[in-house]
């Protein structure tokens, strides 16, 4: 059995579904079910004995100790995190609690569990920490992409909290010998993505005829990774990654935000035409977020060289699958757009005048 933290969130739930589709090893899924955690993502696993779900917090040491003693997982894949930059700007405390203190508590529980294992199981045990390219900071146009040796320069409360968690994981390996691997991924997209992030927000707003808010000039560049490719990359690192090493997982797909939005509009014009006209008419430039990083780019040659992994999807194939999924799952979208979610969108975007200085 493996333990997955945050397995009801966007990437975590996709990983759980991917893992159980690829084999029969059971998953112990621990998730606090905050606003972005959704058991609907895992509805297809209802009644499946290979999936054991526990609602709980990674900061609850007593719960962690109990679960580890009872289920004795051979590996922990740690997704659980607060992950939205805008939310971290409005309220950083929760990001420090979950991403830093929560990771520390999980590491300590994992270390205690690992110490009790027989020698063979101790050698096979893995703690896989899932992180982000945002810890590396912002790249200038034309600068080489982030490699695993790039200096950490986090620029938001979110990325600072993830950088701290990365450093904790590294320290627990070097100080205590805990067998860890870390992956830093680029921007994920795909099914079950909570509609506060760029791609799902643009899709659901366009379908509702609402403005498509683009920060500043829209020229912020990101590397986009289809979520199923991220899942296969994690499986590759968990199976064959060198202990104590970091592996960057990227999609080799640098795109400006404004081009992402236009691509979504073009696909929706094809797949769900709006009688009112092309969806690009809804694009609205709003005031940029504070400290907005201009460019991220992942150099994923290390994972390809050492483990033979490359993404299977191009951006064109992945974004088409994503848009079609949201068109086919309007009921899921309606459920996640709770009153709390609508309040958040209002808080974050309503104060940004379309003609504010950028």
CATH of the domain at 103: 3.40.50.720
280 is catalytic: no
CA distance 51 to 135: 32
Tell me the mean pLDDT in the region 237-251: 98
Residue 70 lies in a domain: yes
So what's the pLDDT on residue 346? 64
Residue 352 lies in a domain: no
Secondary structure class of 85 (helix, strand, coil): helix
pLDDT at 345 over 60: no
Residue 194 lies in a domain: no
So what's the pLDDT on residue 355? 47
Tell me the mean pLDDT in the region 351-355: 54
Nearest to 185 by CA among 11, 3, 9: 11
CA distance 292 to 215: 9
Secondary structure class of 175 (helix, strand, coil): helix
Tell me the mean pLDDT in the region 240-265: 97
So what's the pLDDT on residue 356? 40
- Catalytic residue, chosen from 57, 82, 86, 133, is 133
Residue 293: pLDDT band (50, 70, 90) is confident
So what's the pLDDT on residue 245? 98
The count of structural domains within the chain is 1
User: Mind listing the pLDDT tens digit for each residue in 92-144?
Assistant: 999 999 999 999 999 999 999 999 999 999 999 999 999 999 999 999 999 99
Secondary structure class of 97 (helix, strand, coil): helix
So what's the pLDDT on residue 292? 87
CA distance 355 to 209: 20
What are the DSSP E strand ranges found in 1-151? 2-5, 27-31, 51-55, 75-78, 126-132
pLDDT at 340 over 90: no
- Catalytic residue, chosen from 57, 86, 134, 229, is 134
The average confidence (pLDDT) of the chain is: 93
pLDDT more than 90, % of the chain: 86
Residue 138 lies in a domain: yes
CA 259 from chain center: how many Å? 21
Distances 226 to 19, 103, 158, 240, 312 between C-alpha atoms, Å? 16, 25, 21, 22, 9
pLDDT at 344 over 80: no
Range of the domain at 152: 2-188+225-252+297-313
What's the pTM? 0.92
Residue 345 lies in a domain: no
Residue 142 lies in a domain: yes
User: Mind listing the pLDDT tens digit for each residue in 196-234?
Assistant: 889 999 999 999 999 999 999 999 999 999 999 999 999
Residue 134 lies in a domain: yes
So what's the pLDDT on residue 297? 95
Residue 250: pLDDT band (50, 70, 90) is very high
Residue 327 lies in a domain: no
- Catalytic residue, chosen from 136, 148, 158, 296, is 158
Contact between 6 and 81 under an 8 Å Cβ cutoff? The reply is yes
**End-to-end alpha carbon distance in the chain:** 50
So what's the pLDDT on residue 354? 56
Tell me the mean pLDDT in the region 147-176: 97
pLDDT more than 70, % of the chain: 94
So what's the pLDDT on residue 342? 55
Token pair in block for residue 327: 């068109």
133 is catalytic: yes
Nearest to 85 by CA among 134, 32, 12: 134
User: Mind listing the pLDDT tens digit for each residue in 22-61?
Assistant: 999 999 999 999 878 889 999 999 999 999 999 999 999 9
pLDDT at 147 over 70: yes
Cα 339-29-178 angle, rounded to 5 deg: 125
- By CB neighbour count within 10 A (0-12 exposed, 13-18 middle, 19+ buried), where does 124 fall? exposed
So what's the pLDDT on residue 220? 95
pLDDT at 358 over 50: no
Secondary structure class of 311 (helix, strand, coil): coil
Q: List helix spans (H) across 58-140.
A: 61-71, 85-90, 93-95, 103-116, 119-124
């Amino acid at each position: 059995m493996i333990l997955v933290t945050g397995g009801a969130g966007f990437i975590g739930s996709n990983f759980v579904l991917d893992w159980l589709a690829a084999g029969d090893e059971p998953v112990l899924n621990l998730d606090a079910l905050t606003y972005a955690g959704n058991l609907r993502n895992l509805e297809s696993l209802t009644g499946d004995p290979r999936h054991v779900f526990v609602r709980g917090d990674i900061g609850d040491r007593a719960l962690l100790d109990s679960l580890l003693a009872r289920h004795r997982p051979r590996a922990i894949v740690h997704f659980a995190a607060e992950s939205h930059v805008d939310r971290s700007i409005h309220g950083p405390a929760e990001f420090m609690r979950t991403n830093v203190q929560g990771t520390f508590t999980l590491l300590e529980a994992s270390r205690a569990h690992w110490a009790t294992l027989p020698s063979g199981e101790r050698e096979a045990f893995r703690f896989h920490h899932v992180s982000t390219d945002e810890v590396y900071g912002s790249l200038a146009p034309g600068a080489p992409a982030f490699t695993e040796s790039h200096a950490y320069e986090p620029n938001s409360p979110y990325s600072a909290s993830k950088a701290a968690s990365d450093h904790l994981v590294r320290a627990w390996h070097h100080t205590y010998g805990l067998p860890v691997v870390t992956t830093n991924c680029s921007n994920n997209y795909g099914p079950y993505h909570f509609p506060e992030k760029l791609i799902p927000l643009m899709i659901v707003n366009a379908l509702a005829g609402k403005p498509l808010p683009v920060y500043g000039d829209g020229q912020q560049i990101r590397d986009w990774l289809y979520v199923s490719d991220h899942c296969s990359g994690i499986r590759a690192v968990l199976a064959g990654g060198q202990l104590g090493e970091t592996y960057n997982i990227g999609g080799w797909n640098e795109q400006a935000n404004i081009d992402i939005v236009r691509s979504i509009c073009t696909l929706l014009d094809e797949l769900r035409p709006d009688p009112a006209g092309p969806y690009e008419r809804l694009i609205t430039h709003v005031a940029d977020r504070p400290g907005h990083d201009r460019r991220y780019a992942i150099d994923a040659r290390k994972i390809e060289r050492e483990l033979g992994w490359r993404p299977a999807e191009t951006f064109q194939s992945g974004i088409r699958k994503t848009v079609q999924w949201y068109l086919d799952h309007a009921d899921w979208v309606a459920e996640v757009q709770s009153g709390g979610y609508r309040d958040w969108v209002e808080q974050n975007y309503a104060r940004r005048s379309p003609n504010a200085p950028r």
